[in-house]
Structure 1
Amino acid sequence: MRGSANTSDSEGSSLEKGLKPPTAQDMELSKSSADGSPKDAPPSFPEGGFEAWLTVSGASAALFVSFGWVNCIGLFQANYEINQLKGYSSSTISWITSMEFFFMTFMSPVAGRLFDRYGPRIPLLIGTVLHVLGLMMASISTKYYQFVLSQAICSGIGASFIFNPAMAAPQTYFREKRGIVAGLTVAGSSLGGVIFPLMVQHILPRVGFGWTMRICAFLILGLLIFANLTITSNLKHGRRTFKLMDYLNPLKELNFCIMCFSMYFLFWGLFVPFDYIVVSAIHYGMPQTLAYSLVPVLNGASFFGRTIPNYIADRVGRFNVMIVMSLLSTILVLGLWLPGRSTGAIFAFSALFGISSGAGIGLGLPLIAHVSPMKEFGFRMGTILCISSFATLTGPPIGGAIVAQDGGSFIYPCVFSALSFLISVAGFAALRIRLGGWKFTANI
């Protein structure tokens, strides 16, 4: 019944706009899967257009300053351990960076609801104010609780209200190219993850921590003005009654639950290397200035991981590519990060893991769309990201606690990360089999 309702809504929207109604093939794509969840919604719009690609550019800028900024957690982890918060343990400091990720994803249901109701402009405006305000307050912070309130909570919530509409809005203009569009959108975060560490590394010794944060905040403000002016949505947004069950009903669908499970363990494995790559390199003898370069290397490589695999995924199957790239992340953590001690090995891991982990992040959105009706995409994405936020919150502190218990060794955090990746691979594989069967050549 859910699939039929979505088909009717989309066809009506198509006729209202004077466009061609969905074909028989489109109608087939909108049928429910075995558990009653729709595989995809039929298109009610042309694929792309000027406004669509303008939205992609604005969304990429928004990801540059939100997810791209938060991607630099390894840099802040190392800097706070050495300077502002050197009296605190790695695990304690990691709560600042992990909470920033947590609030960016935990607030997704609220941001998604605002997107469904008002479109992208309202949440983007709220996010702009909170994100910039939080960073400005962090620039004058000196105590642990001040960094928690400003960088972790205020800036983290602001990043969520930027990240979610920026990810969702381009998807409303495309269907066949959802993979590459999501990749181009998320690629902005890779560029942010390269440019921000290089900025910090070069201006921090010259102007100090406070003005370094303010300069970054002014750059973020400028790009967010561009994002606010360019990001639009192709959906009809309007007042909707809030119902808690809107967020809980999708959890009755087995496919959606498997997707939540897989994304949770993907995030659990992902942010341990992101948070500790710099600290572990310094621990194994790499000079601090050289270790800081690992962050832009990792994020620069992830640009290719968030675009090329997505382009391939649109042709050979998004679940197929996600499984391969998540398995590659497992192999890299166990085969390269765990035994790697030399400078070459650590840099090689950073570059290759940037590619494999970038694909995992870039492909997550199209996979959520695959098991969601488009009209519910905003809050369904919010539900999954909210659940996954607990992985981003607990992953780095768990890794730090393991390091402390093991006398400073990073062996068991590597095992924890790799095992989490492997469990996510099993979840994605199970969902792929449910949707497409055991045929390996199926485009799923």
Structure 2
Amino acid sequence: MAESDSQLRYKEMDPEKTSINDTMANDDDLPIDPPVLSTDPSQDVENAEMPPANPWMDPKSFPDGGGKAWLTVAGAAACLFVSFGWVNCVGVFQDYYQTHQLKQYSPSDISWIPSLQVFFMLFCGPFVGKIFDDYGHRYLLVVGTFLHVFGLMMTSISKEYYQFLLSQAICSAIGASMVFYPAFNCVSTWFFHKRGAALGLVAAGSSLGGVIFPIMVVRLIPEVGFGWAMRICAFLILGLLIFANLTVSSRIAPSKRPFSVMAFIRPLKEPSFLLLTGAVFFFYWGMFTPFTFIVVEARTHGMSQHLANYLVPILNGASVIGRTVPNVIADKVGRFNVMIIMSSFTTILILALWLPATGNVPIILFAALFGIGSGAGIGLTPALCAQISPIKDIGVRTGTVFAIASIAALTGSPIGGQIIVDGHGSFRNTAVFAGVSCGTGVALYIAARISLAGLKMTKV
């Protein structure tokens, strides 16, 4: 039986399934210098038959370790701590704004602040990815550091709804995006066989940030007020990003190419990439809903304010496991295989545990287990993109996936909030929406895996 186009494409992307010469023959964009001939005719023949290794695709060209590689992992983890880690505590702000500065607004209106925050951080992916591919990571990290910190400083003095939108949801989020993408992309240039594990350690930084930041916010606000609580968080972010600017590096020099809209659209013509993009969209559409509403939902069931504030740290603390262990296993048994298992686990948790939960114990249990499941969904996504992409296009292709997923992040929470309003405060239908969306994502992950390797049991 003839192989599909997606399966052939997957073999091209996976150097374990094809030879270096085949890979290089298919890479028309990469200039290959002619072999240098020696004075020994026998060596001339040997050199002429052995082109130089392709640094983008040859597994042997990836060091998979070393001082610079692991320093990049450490700096990238700091980037995730202050970007996705900050976004992970949106549930705390949703609850706080509903009872303080913006209490005159509906939950759906307020949810646009965290939704836009996630949206801009993800939506900027193609533009940040293009800059990364053309100019490298350095300018992105510097500008991103300024915008992220400046946005939060402005949030600390905000009073009106539009001010929170401009400072926290737009300015800070764009800055977070400019440090989020280079972190993943730089690490991918250093690792091949250990890429899943390395990216898992990077993603664990966001989990740690998701634990530290909400605890800081809920403890600092009563002691020093909202303004200084935000400023202290901003100073912590500044310090970590200075460290990241000094340590993050890319193994491959940037290569400027003319801008083309097709560079972002062309990957979507590949069935496997299109299915992966759709899977990430639907999974994120449902996944961010519990992140936003878990604190508010717990309080409606009688949980104390003090205990409810710790649900987000519990969720993000557990996600350290979800963003590291599955990635290590994925390097051994297949990244798509592990993603299907973990996204299915997340869907079951939403529909079978969060939906009927009313007491403190099941809600806390859901927060912990959901952290593990959703953590894998976040930590494995860049590894899945890298697996089916040429490494020289990793910035644009990863950015394309996250930009499309940003629409899900933008609309998911407001839809959930409106469902709550229409249900007169009931979270039941919102949980159903989240579970069905994640389930659709699971089906598309399975379809993407089948497009790559068929139904046979193998490492994918």
TM range (shorter): over 0.9
Partner of residue 257, structure 2: 240
Kindly indicate whether residue 142 of structure 2 is the aligned counterpart of residue 125 of structure 1.
yes
Kindly indicate whether residue 453 of structure 2 is the aligned counterpart of residue 436 of structure 1.
yes
Q: Is the 8 A contact 2:314 2:367 kept in 1?
A: yes
Structure 1 residue 41: deviation in Å?
3.2
Q: Is the 8 A contact 2:285 2:437 kept in 1?
A: yes
Partner of residue 307, structure 1: 324
Partner of residue 231, structure 2: 214
Kindly indicate whether residue 164 of structure 2 is the aligned counterpart of residue 147 of structure 1.
yes
SS in 2 for 1:172: helix
Structure 1 residue 443: deviation in Å?
0.8
Determine the C-alpha separation between the residues in 2 that align with 1:45 and 1:273. 38
Partner of residue 57, structure 2: 41
Determine the C-alpha separation between the residues in 2 that align with 1:122 and 1:175. 26
Partner of residue 89, structure 1: 106
- Farther-moved stretch of structure 1 (397-406 vs 252-261): 252-261
- 1:201-241 Cα distance to aligned partner (Å, 9 max, x none): 21110100000000000000000000011000011213321
- What amino acid is aligned across from residue 202 of structure 2 in structure 1? T
SS in 1 for 2:249: coil
Determine the C-alpha separation between the residues in 2 that align with 1:264 and 1:6. 30
Q: Is the 8 A contact 1:135 1:214 kept in 2?
A: yes
- What amino acid is aligned across from residue 370 of structure 1 in structure 2? Q
Aligned residue runs from structure 1 range 276-315, under 5 A = 276-315=293-332
Determine the C-alpha separation between the residues in 2 that align with 1:293 and 1:77. 14
Q: Give unpaired runs (5+ residues) of structure 2.
A: 1-8, 13-22, 37-46
- Farther-moved stretch of structure 1 (185-194 vs 47-56): 47-56
Give the alignment partner of residue 257 of structure 1, picking from 263, 271, 274. 274
- Farther-moved stretch of structure 1 (4-13 vs 282-291): 4-13
Structure label with greater radius of gyration: 2
Partner of residue 385, structure 1: 402
SS in 2 for 1:213: helix
Kindly indicate whether residue 70 of structure 2 is the aligned counterpart of residue 53 of structure 1.
yes
What is the root-mean-square deviation of aligned Cα atoms in Å?
2.1
Give the alignment partner of residue 347 of structure 1, picking from 346, 353, 364. 364
Q: Is the 8 A contact 1:282 1:291 kept in 2?
A: yes
Q: Is the 8 A contact 1:326 1:421 kept in 2?
A: yes
Q: Is the 8 A contact 1:61 1:223 kept in 2?
A: yes
Q: Is the 8 A contact 1:7 1:42 kept in 2?
A: no
Structure 1 residue 42: deviation in Å?
2.9
Determine the C-alpha separation between the residues in 2 that align with 1:141 and 1:59. 30
- 1:68-89 Cα distance to aligned partner (Å, 9 max, x none): 0011000000000011100000
**Relative to 1, partners in 2 of residues 1:229 and 1:268: Cα closer, same or farther, differing over 3 Å?**
same
Would you say how many aligned residue pairs link Structure 1 and Structure 2? 424
Partner of residue 333, structure 2: 316
Partner of residue 400, structure 1: 417
- Farther-moved stretch of structure 1 (66-75 vs 251-260): 251-260
Q: Is the 8 A contact 1:186 1:362 kept in 2?
A: yes
- Farther-moved stretch of structure 1 (246-255 vs 100-109): 246-255
Structure 1 residue 424: deviation in Å?
0.7
SS in 2 for 1:47: coil
Structure 1 residue 10: deviation in Å?
7.5
- What amino acid is aligned across from residue 144 of structure 1 in structure 2? Y
Q: Is the 8 A contact 1:6 1:41 kept in 2?
A: no
**Relative to 1, partners in 2 of residues 1:180 and 1:12: Cα closer, same or farther, differing over 3 Å?**
farther
Q: Is the 8 A contact 2:133 2:255 kept in 1?
A: yes
- Farther-moved stretch of structure 1 (237-246 vs 212-221): 237-246
- What amino acid is aligned across from residue 233 of structure 1 in structure 2? S
- What amino acid is aligned across from residue 190 of structure 1 in structure 2? S
TM-score normalised over the length of structure 2 = 0.89
Kindly indicate whether residue 93 of structure 2 is the aligned counterpart of residue 76 of structure 1.
yes
TM-score normalised over the length of structure 1 = 0.92
- Farther-moved stretch of structure 1 (40-49 vs 347-356): 40-49
- 1:335-383 Cα distance to aligned partner (Å, 9 max, x none): 1101011100000000000000001111101111111111101000111
- 1:2-58 Cα distance to aligned partner (Å, 9 max, x none): 854565778959x99xxxx9xx9xx9x99xxxxxxxxx9333332221100100000
Determine the C-alpha separation between the residues in 1 that align with 2:371 and 2:353. 13
Give the alignment partner of residue 134 of structure 1, picking from 126, 151, 170. 151
Q: Which runs of 4+ in 1 moved over 6 A?
A: 8-11
SS in 2 for 1:88: coil
- 1:183-213 Cα distance to aligned partner (Å, 9 max, x none): 1001000000000111112111010000000
Percent identity among equivalent residues?
Answer: 55
Q: Give unpaired runs (5+ residues) of structure 1.
A: 31-39
SS in 1 for 2:96: helix
Partner of residue 15, structure 2: none
Kindly indicate whether residue 376 of structure 2 is the aligned counterpart of residue 368 of structure 1.
no
Kindly indicate whether residue 245 of structure 2 is the aligned counterpart of residue 231 of structure 1.
no
